[in-house]
């Protein structure tokens, strides 16, 4: 079970491919590279956790090792899931945010919609909480 260096090397290689040849490819190729990078890093970390010399280096007893290993597996799975979803869902679906100053424009005044909501909540509270 010492294949974790190979998996980390594969994650770095996929990252380099993403920065190099895949930089000009379509977005689905870049997404596939990002998903593969996240998967290789996740699998490498899981194999590292199962590698006995890693735990001997940290000098952790068996009971604490099981607890720490379970927590780290849970944490790494959540991070991998978030990274994978971010890689799959990022892209040009949403319009970019324009935060710069666009100059003076004639805009209609913003209508406040908070007051009708507060009024409805107050009426609801009054009708359904009185004794």
The total number of residues written for the chain in this structure: 131
CA distance 106 to 52: 68
End-to-end CA distance of the chain: 68
Rounded to the nearest 5°, which phi and psi values hold at 109?
A: -65, 145
Q: What pTM does this model have? A: 0.63
Query: Distances in Å between the alpha carbon of 113 and those of 34, 39, 98, 119?
Result: 42, 45, 24, 11
Report yes or no: 8 and 37 within 8 Å, Cβ to Cβ: no
- Is residue 96 over pLDDT 80? no
What does the pLDDT look like over 7-24, one tens digit per residue? Answer: 999 999 999 998 888 888
What does the pLDDT look like over 20-67, one tens digit per residue? Answer: 888 888 888 889 999 999 999 999 999 998 888 888 888 877 778 888
């Amino acid at each position: 079970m010492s294949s974790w260096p190979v998996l980390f090397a594969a994650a770095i290689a996929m990252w380099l491919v993403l920065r190099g040849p895949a930089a000009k490819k379509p977005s689905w190729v870049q997404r596939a590279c990002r998903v593969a990078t996240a998967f290789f890093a996740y699998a490498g970390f899981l194999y590292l956790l199962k590698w006995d010399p890693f735990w001997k280096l940290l000098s952790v007893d068996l009971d604490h090792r099981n607890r720490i290993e379970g927590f780290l597996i849970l944490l790494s799975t959540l991070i991998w899931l978030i990274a994978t979803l971010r890689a799959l869902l990022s892209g040009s679906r949403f319009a970019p945010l324009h935060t710069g100053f666009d100059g003076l424009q004639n805009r209609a005044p913003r209508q406040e919609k908070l007051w009708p909501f507060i009024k409805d909540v107050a009426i609801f509270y009054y009708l359904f909480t009185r004794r």
